Structure 1
């Protein structure tokens, strides 16, 4: 029997995640306590997205949901609290941000927050918050025409992976005398237990109660799986092993792990760890 074994929320793109026992799944992704996945994003002075790819120490910025704030901690830094309530759109400052090839409006968080991130990362930067006036959709080329909103994710609202796939990779690493790696290297939102290795690649849908998810595109991996999320440093690196058997022709030979997914049914449904999941294969 397949079960939902992990739910992960990443409030700030490329920063640490929050492991949840239960969460609300919306068309725009995982949500808990009115916080959406990738609702915030660090940007440089030109408004360009800043990620672990260039600044691996972002992994050590740890979020925690408090009553009405998102509390952030990082090595050598005082704790920072970000208000959860949305600002007044008539008064809140905005800025133009660029995420890969898209440029759009976002809320500009305050100077204190900007100074905190700038001091920690050692570069001038700011924290942006997704603006509710903006509509950002996953590529309909992959969603089959379904309009799937997302916030500051790389392109799709939900990333699904399986424990079987990680075990397969770790078996190959151990066979070479190398260290196994944890699932957090791949930063999935939903982890499924009880299916075969990479069976998620061939699923038509995943169902958890009233929630129906559809995998739409293999997730190409950048260097981030090479970053130890507990140290914020590169290594050990699994990418050379993945390259030997996880290059996918449908995404121009990119090395893939996990499936980008969208919500077909059950917008706003709550799910919890341990819940049974039905995986319908596409053949």
Structure 2
């Protein structure tokens, strides 16, 4: 099932997305603004049963997408998690023993088909196509063997980065990762029951139709299970938390010379079985 937050006739609501349109899931929610009841196995089953007896409330052309952010307490992003991405740094380093992590704020994301904003402070807006985990069942010190059972579903992220601002300080990248609307997420979450494992998911990023990133989760240094187990060691994962799992080689900063996004560009992040996240670029 595809679950999304959509805007229809001036109102934001959670919906199931089908080939024919959107089915309003508000009757299944304790509060219309909160998607958490849809993120458990039981919630997904209730939604499947409900959708089976419904016709779309709105056609595909009659609504727009909101960012897929089910009120996360935490948005945790993973850096340099594809083996080829580590090689891309050309520093001769071995594969890391532990994941590199940083946090993003919800305000740093826009929705599918809405523009990424290149801020007036920099011309170095870069793309990073990623697959993101949405946590269903929370927990602390989750065993690796049980970790994937805590996944509600997967969505796509363009983990947009202001490159010169990630180098402002010695030990952090926070400021360059959190400019308002510099990244995007969505358009929906595909529930975990739609996947036969998570270890060979293809991921591609295109800019103006040109393939820039092309890899598979088979090449992750730290698998989805590794990440959930590691992160939950030091913090309690909560329902609705998001873990973005890293970007493959091919970001604009790695070209010689670098190729950054500019107004009018269109970025498409896609993964079979999940979908496609598309955004233009504007100045702000």
TM-score interval w.r.t. the shorter chain? under 0.3
TM-score, structure 2 as length reference: 0.26
TM-score, structure 1 as length reference: 0.26
Q: Point out the structure with the larger helix share.
A: 2
